[in-house]
Every structure is written in C-alpha cells, then in structure tokens.
A and B are shown apart, each in its own frame.
Chain A
Amino acid sequence: MIARLSDRPSGNATPIDPATLLGQWINYDTSSRNITGLTIARRGDAVTLRIAGAPDVDWGEVALDPFSLTTAGGEAAAFRAAYDFGFARIAILAYLNKRLLVVDAYTTFHDDSGRSNYFARDHFWTR
C-alpha cells in the first residue's frame, strides 16, 4: 500500500546506517538561546541523542529514529526524537544538508504558564 508515489518499494531495502549522524554537533550560532550542542551515539542496535540547551542545561539522553532518503534505506539523512519534560514536550526533527545538520525544535507547553508553542531552528557542525 502507498499514500504517495514515493512510498513505493525501491528494490531490496538495506538497513539505515546512522554513521553520518554520529558525533558531537556544535551550534554555528554561539549566541543561540535554543540548543548549544547535540551528541549522537550508537548504543548497541540503538542510536541515542543527548542535547545541551542554552546556556548549559543537560536534557539527558533519548532514543533517536534515523531516516534515509528513500524506501531503499542506506545512509541516514535525517532523524527524529522527542523529549518530554512534563511542563513541555519538544519534538526534535533534523536533517543533513551536506555536512550541515539542520535541527528544528517544535515545542508545546503543558503547564499553566501561558507561553506559546513555538518553533526554533539552529544549524550545527561536527569535526
């Protein structure tokens, strides 16, 4: 079944290789008030994400789901992950553009603070 033409199988699918995502990623914008850095690591068969919020808040480690560019799999080109802090939930949606990691944070608040749900984007590099 498909929901669009790009859902069609494209030959024998291979597992997604997360190697392109692994490492320590540093924000190009040193004055960002969003995310200062990400660490993506392999833990057995799983891939994990750890985020440092600006200026220095450890968000902890969560599982990360890698995505390829087609149904054939292969090299990872993007990932998604989710943080649930109780008062806020943050969906982390990211993709690679050459060796630039573009990270979007979609935040919803679940307290009575009256803050607006908001979108934030930053760009990251790795050594």
Chain B
Amino acid sequence: MRFVRAEDRLPNGDAAPGGHVDPSPMLGTWFATDKQSAGVVKMELSERDGAFVVRAFGAGSPDPIDWGEVPAIAYAKSVDSGEGMAVSAVFDFGFEESLLAAYSKGGILVLDTFNTFKDGSGRSAYFSREFFHR
C-alpha cells in the first residue's frame, strides 16, 4: 500500500472501510451566517441517484444567482472512517471557475472558495471564507 505521509496508512490491523465515504452527515440546506454576504448565500447538499451533488446560490440583486448542481466529493476525517465531514466541488461558469471546499464542525459548515476568472476581464483570482448553518 503506497503512502506519502503517515496519515495515509491504515492503523495496524484495521481493515479498509471500502473506499466509500457517506455524505449523510452533511446533507441538507445550508445558509450563510452573514445575511449581507456578497459570496455564496446558500448550498444544498444532497444525493441524487446515489451520487453526491451540490447546488449553490451566489449573492445577487435582487435575487440570489442559482449556480445549478454539480458532482461533489465527500471526505472523511481519516482513511479508516466512512463518515463524511468535508466536501469539494467545482463550478465552471465559462467566464470563471470556482472551487468550493468545505468542512463541517460543531453544526457549522466552513466554506473556502478559490475563484479564477477566465474571461480576460483583468479581475484577480480571489479567495473567500464563509460560514453556514442548516
């Protein structure tokens, strides 16, 4: 079994959990704690036909902007856990790509976004950190 750090290794004697991470603990609709947020205002984490998906909404005026739904990846806290506690997904808008990466802790979802523009508009790639509750 290959590894690049100690944490990649299964604890002695433990069987591998099978490679499936259950996203159930993260499923639901998450709302930005900052009601004046100019970033992501809502996320819907759900399972559709057995696949884990994320739908996000960006702050807009007058209404939020529906980003649609994309496939997501669920992550556990370790190689021998099957319980999802983090998620990543990529939204490609054509003019911009946004990588969303979040982890849950104490009932809060902490979201980092890494946003890169591809339209030659001169806008800088930027990062945001936002907090969500169900």
Contact = CB atoms under 8 A, between A and B. Distances in A.
A93 B119 CA distance: 23
A108 to B, nearest CB: 6
A113 B1 contact: yes
Contact of A118 (B39, B61, B79, B121): B79
Contacts, number: 180
Interface string A40-61: 0000000000000111010100
A5 B86 contact: no
B38 interface: yes
Interface residues of A, number: 57
Contacts of A71: 117, 123-124, 126
B39 A67 contact: no
B129 to A, nearest CB: 7
Contacts of A67: 114-115, 125-127
The 6 closest A-B pairs by CB, nearest first: A4-B58, A114-B16, A73-B124, A53-B5, A78-B127, A119-B86
Interface of A: 1-7, 9, 13-16, 33-35, 53-55, 57, 59, 65-74, 77-78, 80, 83, 85-88, 90-91, 93, 95, 104, 106-109, 111, 113-121
Interface of B: 1-8, 10, 15-21, 38-41, 58-61, 65, 67, 73-82, 85-86, 88, 91, 93, 95-96, 98-99, 101, 103, 112, 114-117, 119, 121-129
